[in-house]
Amino acid sequence: MRRHIEPFWWALFSSGGTLAAFFLPVLIFIMGIAIPLGWIESPGYEKLFALVSNLHIRVFLFSLISLSLFHWAHRFRFTLYDGLQLKHLNRLIAVLCYGSAITGTLMTGYILIIFSSH
Amino acid sequence: MNEQITLEVLRYRPEESSKQIYQSYDVPFKKEWVILDALNYIKDELDGTLSYRWSCRMGVCGSCGMMVNGEPVLSCASFLETFHPGPIRIEPLENFPVVRDLVSEMSDFMEKLERVQPWLIRKDEDPPEGEYLQTPSQLMDYKNYSMCINCMLCYSACPVYGLEPSFLGPAAIALGQRYNLDSRDQGEKIRNAVLSEDDGIWQCTLVGECSAVCPKDVDPAAAIQRLKVSTTVDFFKSFLMPWQNR
């Protein structure tokens, strides 16, 4: 039996979708809306920095951001493939989509590492 | 009660013209009539040249599927009243070649159905003494998927099948899964090799229309999702536990 890579991308896609659906809206609401608008008191830079320095938080942020990117990549790939009917560009689309997600993952990892070793 | 309702039927008679044209028929509007009754009225009273498939007129045989106002339905299960005051557009099932009028060509599905091997596969050749026993809960595992009547509404509704005619499609995959989930079956590995090929489950983008239009409440979209999960688990297992591959 020939081994297909598709289950690998789908695993990243589906776990990314689950994580993103659970955590992204509340994170965006707290960090992106409630704190800037002053609905919640800002914890301040020091406290947030200490939070991100925690290994568990870093692993969580890394998983959340990276898997969300892979979720996007897979979805966008099929949007282009089926929606715009770019069947003949399948390989290029896959490389660009997953490539972007991989680049984003590497950047996230890099930022989280240098950020915590300040 | 002499009210009439208009049916606009998309006709195709290759010996007369290579084009499909709409032809309007006025039929009596009766509360208890389904689309199929109206078509039978046309055939008997107005125009004997109209061609369409039907048999049981009770949602069991799966032969009277067609597009009614753009939706794939069984014409024996759709009441005229739903579409009052009309006119009602009747077209052959989408995504299939048309043989004549409302009759579609189904051989593509027949070939795909055979490919997923929808029968019990056993490793041992000889059947046991008596029958294979099954508990009610083992029956419930696959019963939903066994309700399929091969009416092809799901293929008509599936946008992926419309774009990729090579896609195995909802009904064939659900029927493959029906045997995978049967406690008497041992052919999951053989079947999954076909189901997870390029033309199989990975083409599906979970639009979900197949399950929405199914007249028997089979849930092909769920069958495909469950197969994606189990195939993905097998994929990772084959790396983590390579000794199990053979």
pLDDT greater than 60 at residue A1: no
Provide the shortest C-alpha distance from residue A69 to chain B (in Å).
18
Provide the shortest C-alpha distance from residue A19 to chain B (in Å).
16
> Are B95 and B114 in the same domain?
no
| Mutation to test the B interface, candidates A2, A5, A6, A8, most B Cβ within 10 Å | A6
> Are B99 and B184 in the same domain?
no
For B117, residues 6+ apart whose C-beta sits below 8 A from its C-beta are B176, B179, B187, B190, B191, B194
> Are B99 and B115 in the same domain?
no
Check A7 against B163: CB less than 8 A apart: no
Task: Please name the residue of chain A whose CA is at the shortest distance from the CA of residue B196.
Answer: A4
Task: Please name the residue of chain A whose CA is at the shortest distance from the CA of residue B161.
Answer: A82
CATH code for position B73: 3.10.20.30
Nearest to A10 among B197, B198, B232 (CB): B232
A78 touches chain B (CB under 8 A): yes
Q: What is the ipTM of this complex?
A: 0.80
Q: Of B65, B80, B104, at which residue does a domain stop?
A: B104
pLDDT greater than 50 at residue B41: yes
> Is the CB of residue B148 less than 8 Å from the CB of residue B175?
yes
Q: How far is CA B182 from the centre of its chain?
A: 21
Interval A30-42: pLDDT, tens: 999 999 999 988 8
What is the pLDDT at residue A85?
Answer: 80
Check B159 against A1: CB less than 8 A apart: no
Check A4 against B232: CB less than 8 A apart: no
State the average pLDDT for chain A: 89
> Are B39 and B86 in the same domain?
yes
- Name every chain A residue with its beta carbon within 8 A of the beta carbon of B244: none
pLDDT greater than 70 at residue B1: no
- Name every chain B residue with its beta carbon within 8 A of the beta carbon of A84: none
> Are B115 and B99 in the same domain?
no
CATH code for position B122: 1.10.1060.10
* DSSP conformation class of A80: I
| Mutation to test the A interface, candidates B206, B209, B235, most A Cβ within 10 Å | B235
Structural element, H or E, at residue B21? strand B21-28
Provide the shortest C-alpha distance from residue B158 to chain A (in Å).
12
Check B235 against A3: CB less than 8 A apart: yes
Q: Go through the domains of chain A in sequence order and give each one's CATH number.
A: 6-116 (1.20.1300.10)
How many structural domains are present in chain B? 2
pLDDT greater than 60 at residue B114: yes
Task: Please name the residue of chain B whose CA is at the shortest distance from the CA of residue A9.
Answer: B232
Query: Which residue type sits at B102?
Result: L
What is the pLDDT at residue A103?
Answer: 97
Check B231 against A11: CB less than 8 A apart: no
User: Coil, helix or strand for B164?
Assistant: coil
Interval A46-78: pLDDT, tens: 888 888 888 899 999 999 999 999 999 999 999
> Are B127 and B230 in the same domain?
yes
> Is the CB of residue B133 less than 8 Å from the CB of residue B178?
no
Give the domain range for residue B66: 4-104
Share above pLDDT 90 across residues of chain B, in percent, rounded to a whole number = 83
Per-residue pLDDT band for A116 (boundaries 50, 70, 90) equals low
What is the pLDDT at residue B126?
Answer: 76
Q: Of B76, B104, B132, at which residue does a domain stop?
A: B104
What is the pLDDT at residue B131?
Answer: 84
Check B160 against A85: CB less than 8 A apart: no
Q: Of B73, B104, B135, at which residue does a domain stop?
A: B104
pLDDT greater than 50 at residue B5: yes
pLDDT greater than 90 at residue B201: yes
For B123, residues 6+ apart whose C-beta sits below 8 A from its C-beta are B186
Phi–psi pair at B24, nearest 5 degrees: -95, 140
Summarize the confidence of residues A93-111 as an average pLDDT.
94
Check B202 against A10: CB less than 8 A apart: yes
A7 touches chain B (CB under 8 A): yes
CA distances from A14 to A96, B206, B236 (A): 19, 12, 15
Structural Rg of chain B based on CA atoms? 21
pLDDT greater than 60 at residue B246: no
> Is the CB of residue B213 less than 8 Å from the CB of residue B72?
yes
> Are B99 and B112 in the same domain?
no
Interval B116-136: pLDDT, tens: 999 999 887 777 788 888 999
**HSE, side-chain direction, 13 A CA sphere, residue A26:** 5
> Are B147 and B240 in the same domain?
yes
Task: Please name the residue of chain A whose CA is at the shortest distance from the CA of residue B204.
Answer: A78
Q: How far is CA B35 from the centre of its chain?
A: 19
> Are B94 and B115 in the same domain?
no
> Are B8 and B54 in the same domain?
yes
More confident residue, A49 or B65: B65
> Are B97 and B122 in the same domain?
no
Interval A74-94: pLDDT, tens: 999 998 988 888 878 888 999
> Are B120 and B77 in the same domain?
no
